[in-house]
């Protein structure tokens, strides 16, 4: 008999559905309010004109902080997406046996910040050419992803990827490895991960970009 822990040694290789951990039916218990925005409900209800964006750009602690600092962002929630295991724990995701990557769900006021603005932040806050890692954080849970909640987001994300690739190539970087796809289910992370760096200001933040900017013509659309 081969144990799951013996199936996958290399955390840079995505598991198959058969190899993935079984997970659980019960989602994590989350606080009702956003820790930074205080009276704002973490998961809604929200007013009518909000948009929902999902990004994975490495460790979700630092990524979430940068998005909640952006004017026009209404709420942020960290979680796991893109894999097989339902409602995984952080430890299960770190095992490399869920297929998930760490993501941030960004809820934003479309009158104050556009999806194009958020895409520019996404590209510029990390190095999207590194495959199954981000800086010193290595493994499938740190891969770069954009999960789109509308057809318009999907089209805009793909166009921005092409534009940013051109700028990266000029600067000597390789090919973008970011996965761009329709949004799968996001399984929200444990309560202690939510707004982690607001609760632990000296905590770890692995966010760091390439120094290459998205052309202004692609921002704010």
CA distance 205 to 62: 5
Answer for the pair 145, 103: CB distance below 8 angstroms, yes or no: yes
Contacts of 85 by beta carbon, 8 Å cutoff, 6+ apart? 20, 21, 22, 23, 92, 93, 97, 98, 99, 100, 187
Q: How many CA atoms lie within 13 A of 6 on its CB side?
A: 3
Listed residue (160, 178, 212, 203) closest to 65, CA to CA: 203
CB distance 132 to 143 below 8 Å: yes
Tell me which residue has tokens 């520019």. 120
Q: Please state whether the peptide bond connecting residue 218 to the residue before it is cis, i.e. omega within 30 degrees of 0.
A: no
Point out the residues that are catalytic. Answer: 59
Give dist(CA 192, CA 103) in Å, integer: 15
Residues 158 and 181: their CA atoms lie apart, in Å, by 9
Q: Do residues 76 and 67 touch, judged by C-beta distance below 8 A? A: yes
């Amino acid at each position: 008999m081969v144990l799951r822990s013996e199936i996958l040694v290399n955390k840079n290789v995505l598991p198959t559905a058969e190899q993935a951990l079984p997970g659980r039916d019960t989602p994590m218990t989350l606080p009702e309010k956003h820790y930074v925005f205080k009276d704002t409900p973490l998961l809604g209800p929200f007013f009518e004109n909000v948009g929902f964006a999902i990004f994975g750009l490495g460790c979700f602690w630092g990524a979430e902080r940068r998005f909640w600092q952006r004017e026009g962002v209404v709420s942020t929630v960290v979680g796991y997406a893109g894999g097989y295991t339902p409602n995984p724990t952080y430890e299960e995701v770190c095992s490399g046996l869920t297929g998930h990557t760490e993501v941030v769900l960004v809820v934003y006021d479309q009158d104050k910040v556009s999806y194009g603005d958020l895409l520019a932040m996404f590209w510029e806050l990390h190095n999207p050419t590194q495959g199954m890692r981000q800086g010193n954080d290595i493994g499938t849970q740190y891969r770069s992803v954009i999960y789109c909640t509308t057809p318009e987001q999907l089209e805009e994300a793909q166009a921005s990827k092409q534009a940013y690739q051109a700028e990266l190539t000029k600067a000597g970087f390789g090919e973008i490895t970011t996965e761009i796809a329709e949004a799968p289910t996001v399984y929200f992370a444990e309560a202690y991960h939510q707004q982690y760096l607001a609760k632990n200001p000296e905590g770890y933040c692995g966010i760091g970009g390439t120094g290459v900017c998205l052309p202004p013509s692609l921002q704010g659309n």
